[in-house]
Amino acid sequence: MSFSSRGVKQVLLSVEQSEGVGAKVRRSIGRQELRNFDPFLMLDEFRAGRPAGFPDHPHRGFETVTYILPTSKGSFEHEDFCGHRGTIGPGDLQWMTAGRGILHSEMPLSDEISHGLQLWINLSAKDKMCPPEYQELRSEDVPKITKDGVTAIIIAGESLGTVSKIYTRTPTNYIHFIMEPNSRIEQRVPSEWAAFAYTVEGKVKFSAGNFIDAHSTVTFNPGGDGIIAETGDEPGNFVLISGKPIGEPVVQHGPFVMSTQKEIIEAINDYSQAKNGFENAQTWESEIAKKLNQG
C-alpha cells in the first residue's frame, strides 16, 4: 500500500532577532505569519553564550520544551523559584509543564554558544492550573534509532517503532531527524493533527517539493498518512513537530497564556501579589541575578 503524504502549505525562512538579554533567536511558530498554530505557541531556535540569556521570568498556562542540539558547544543552566536546578547539555531535553506557575532563569553556563530549540505547547483549560512538573532526560536517555541513513531522535511520541517516555498532556509528536545525503523517511502523523517541520541544517525536500534551506518552517495541510522527507547530495537535519489541536480560545500576554482575558488579569495579579502558585515569587531571585545585582 502506498503512503499518502501531506501537501506543503507554507514555507517561511526565519531571520535572527534579539530576545531575552543579548540572546539571538530565529522564531518559527509565534511569528506574525505563524500565530495560532494550535496547539503550538512558539518555536525558537536560540543561540546564547555568557553573559547573554533569559534571566528571571515567569510562565503560566503552557509547557516549554528545551532541547539543546547534539552539536551545540555550550550548555544551559536552569534554576526555578522552588529550588529546582540543573544543567541542560548537548542532546539533553527538559520538558517543563509550567501549569499554574513557574518563575525561573535559563542561562548559558559558558562563554561558548549554546544552540538549541525551545517549543511552547499550549495546555487545555483543564490543565492550565495544574502543578508545575519537569520531565528531564539526558542525551543518552533520549531514544534514538538509525535506519537507512536516517537517525531519529525521539523527543516525544514515536518514530521507526521507537517510543519516547515523555508524557504529553497535549498529545504531541516531536522528532529530530538527522539525514545522510540521498536518504528518505516516511513519518506517520494523525491526519487531523497540526504539523510542521523546522529545518536546522542542510537542505531537505518535503512531499516531493523543492529543497528547503536551513532555518525554515514548513507547514503541512491536514490529511494523508504523514510526511515524506528526502535529502539530495547534502546531508540535512530538521525537527518534525505535530500535535492535536486543543480548539479553545488562546489569550496570550507575554509569558502567560490563558483562555480568557479575565484569566490573564488574574495571572498578572497572582504574579505581582505572589499568590495562587506564584507564592515564592515574593522573595525569590536566581543565583545568577543575585551575582549580577551585587555588581
The least distance separating ligand FJE from the CB of residue 100, rounded to whole angstroms, comes to 16
The DSSP result for the chain, as a single string, is: -PPPBPPEEEEEE--EEEETBTEEEEE-TTSGGG--BTTEEEEEEEEE-TT-BEEEEEEBSEEEEEEE-TT-S--EEEEETTS-EEEE-TT-EEEEE-TT-EEEEEEESSSSPEEEEEEEEE--TTTTTSPPEEEEE-GGGS-EEEETTEEEEEEESEETTEE-----SS-EEEEEEEE-TT-EEEEE--TTSEEEEEEEEE-EEETT--EE-TTEEEEE-S-SSEEEEE--SS-EEEEEEEE----S--EEETTEEESSHHHHHHHHHHHHTT-TT-GGGGT---HHHHHHHH-
Determine if residue 106 is labeled as part of a ligand binding site. yes
Determine if residue 266 is labeled as part of a ligand binding site. no
The least distance separating ligand FJE from the CB of residue 132, rounded to whole angstroms, comes to 15
Q: Residue 26 or residue 169: which is nearer to ligand FJE going by CB?
A: 26
Q: Residue 33 or residue 192: which is nearer to ligand FJE going by CB?
A: 33
Determine if residue 104 is labeled as part of a ligand binding site. yes
The least distance separating ligand FJE from the CB of residue 176, rounded to whole angstroms, comes to 16
The least distance separating ligand FJE from the CB of residue 94, rounded to whole angstroms, comes to 9
Q: Residue 42 or residue 227: which is nearer to ligand FJE going by CB?
A: 42
The residue ranges that bind ligand FJE (CB under 6 A) are 19-20, 25, 44, 46, 54, 57, 66, 106, 118, 254-255
Q: Residue 44 or residue 63: which is nearer to ligand FJE going by CB?
A: 44
The least distance separating ligand FJE from the CB of residue 128, rounded to whole angstroms, comes to 16
Q: Residue 112 or residue 186: which is nearer to ligand FJE going by CB?
A: 112
Determine if residue 253 is labeled as part of a ligand binding site. no
Annotated binding site: 57, 59, 104, 106
Please give the annotated binding residues for Fe cation, written as ranges: 57, 59, 104, 106
